[in-house]
Amino acid sequence: MTSRAGLLWTAFLLAHAIVAIAGWLLPSQPMGDVVLVYLPWSQSALSGESIVGISESWVYPQLALIPMLLAQVLALPLAGVLGGASAYLVGWALLVTLCDALGLAMLLRRRGRGRGAAAWFWIAALLLLGPIAMYRIDAITLPLALAGGLWLVAHPRLAAAAFTVGAWIKVWPGAVLIAAIAVGRNRLRLLLSAGCACGVIVVALLVLGAGENLLGFLTAQSGRGLQIEAVAATPFLWAAVFGAARIEYSFDILTYQIVAPAAQGIADATTPAMAIAVCGIVICGLLRSRRGARWRTLLPPLALALTVALIVMNRVGSPQFTVWLIAPAMLWIVFDRARAHTAAALVLLLCVLTFCVYPLTYDGLLAAHGLPVLLLSLRNAMLVVLLVVAVRAVLRAPVPIR
């Protein structure tokens, strides 16, 4: 290992340690989901009492339970010393660090300035985003999406499998897969491999008894209201500041939502808006591809545009969604570093703004105080700006002169 690689690995592991420890120290309990919901879900599955996604409908795709169970395994040696909940938190942090380390090893297998820059970008994003980057299920999908992107040329079947598994943990890696099928190499092979992987997963879940709960993560989302962090909720948050709307906690969905006359209508409109946006962006990518744009310059901005669209057009706007942006930005740095600067800078800015909202000023946001609402409004505005930048990069992807 060279001194440069050693420095990078040291910084990478140190960043994970800092962020993991910060989860215990910062306000608003940023690791709360891990101990309050992941731990009970995994305990219930291990006891056979109830298996989320199988015996009951679940807000996540079924494979999300696997890392929750793996964290139980890593927590076992620590349980006698730290206690069950604390051991599980440490086990989860170790699991995320291990998954990320595998992703970094894959990234650095080949030489290239773009790969080193992408690794340092990952470290910076992790530190700027804070504990939410580790203490959520979304953290497990980041290295999977990264691996899928890096495998696209040499191992398209593995790439499709990585994206598919990621999508069955948290849906967003499917956006990168769609981008790859639309404009990447080996389109048919990717499509067939993803279909086979998805078929295997579905059959296994049906054999386990998922039945009518198979797609429960989709139907659960359709019944949600407008979450306070959603981009579409921004005007309602300002209304709440002046007493014209309310913020209430939903015990069904375990999140804070907007209560206002038009809020549910806006929430319902986000689903068709998302479908239209995704279709429009894919069409833009296909047209540019047909004009001859190289996949290395077209795929990264298309993947990022689709991922950002899933956030901007969503009735949910959870702070951990910012994690989704890191892998497409890293792939952009790897494949087309010269055109990635603006998008990468915006992603880092979004990490900072998200961290300032959650966990630093989140209690004030729940009380509709002006400063956290302003910070969240800036973050939501920057999401829209990033979407515009990514779509613009798709439309301006270089084509050969004929």
pLDDT reading at 222 higher than 70: no
Tokens of 308: 């950002």
Least confident range from 187-201, 205-219, 290-304, 370-384: namely 205-219
End-to-end CA distance of the chain, in Å?
Answer: 45
pLDDT at position 108, please? 94
Residue 170 has pLDDT above 70, yes or no: yes
* Residue 349 pLDDT class (50, 70, 90 cuts): very high
Helices and strands in the chain: count of H runs, count of E runs: 18, 2
Read off the tokens for 365.
């946001």
Residue 112 pLDDT > 80: no
Confidence category of residue 113, pLDDT binned at 50, 70, 90: confident
Residue 220 pLDDT greater than 80, yes or no = no
pLDDT digits (tens, 9 = 90+) for 9-32: 999 999 999 999 999 999 999 999
With a cut of 70, say whether residue 223 has pLDDT above it.
Answer: no
Over residues 37-56, mean pLDDT: 94
386-390: Cβ within 8 A, 24+ apart: 386/304, 386/308, 386/325, 386/343, 386/346, 386/347, 386/350, 387/305, 387/308, 387/309, 387/312, 389/342, 389/343, 389/346, 390/301, 390/302, 390/304, 390/305, 390/308, 390/343
- With cut-offs at 50, 70 and 90, classify the pLDDT of residue 125: very high
DSSP 127-196: HHHGGGGTSSTHHHHHHHHHHHHHHTTT-HHHHHHHHHHHHTTSSTHHHHHHHHHHHSSSHHHHHHHHHH
Query: Which positions ≥6 away from 153 have C-beta within 8 Å?
Result: 185, 186
Confidence of residue 46 (pLDDT cuts 50, 70, 90): very high
As a whole number, mean pLDDT of residues 347-365 equals 98
Checking if the pLDDT of 176 tops 90, the result is yes
Q: Say yes or no to pLDDT of 48 above 90.
A: no
Tokens 């579905």 belong to which residue? 202
Q: Are 339 and 332 in contact (CB under 8 A)?
A: yes
Quick one: average pLDDT of 87-111?
Answer: 96
The 8-class DSSP code of residue 210 comes to: -
207 token code pair: 């054999």
Strand partners, 256: 249
Highest mean pLDDT among 45-54, 72-81, 132-141: 132-141
Q: How confident is the model at residue 111 (pLDDT cuts 50, 70, 90)?
A: confident
User: In the structure encoding, which two tokens stand for residue 2, read together?
Assistant: 């060279």
Supply the mean pLDDT for the chain. 94
For 247, the enclosing helix (H) or strand (E) is strand 246-250
Reported as a pLDDT band with limits 50, 70 and 90, residue 1 is low
Structure token digits, residue 11: 């910084």
Three-state DSSP at 219 gives: helix
Q: Is residue 60 within 8 Å of residue 215, measured between CB atoms?
A: no
- Residue 231 has φ and ψ, to the nearest 5°, of -60, -40
Q: What is the tens place of the pLDDT at every residue in 271-318?
A: 999 999 999 999 999 999 999 999 999 999 999 999 999 999 999 999
Instruction: Name the band, by pLDDT with cuts 50, 70 and 90, for residue 5.
Output: confident
Does pTM top 0.75 for this prediction? yes
Cα-trace Rg, the chain: 21
Q: Which two tokens stand for residue 130?
A: 């804070």
DSSP string, 296-360: HHHHHHHHHHHHHHHHHT-S---GGGGGGGHHHHHHHHHH-GGG-HHHHHHHHHHHHHHHIIIII
Place of tokens 């981008």: 179
- What is the per-residue pLDDT for 174? 97
Structure confidence at residue 224 (pLDDT):
81
Task: Assess contact for 316 and 226: CB atoms under 8 A.
Answer: no
Cα 200–Cα 203–Cα 207 angle in degrees, nearest 5: 135
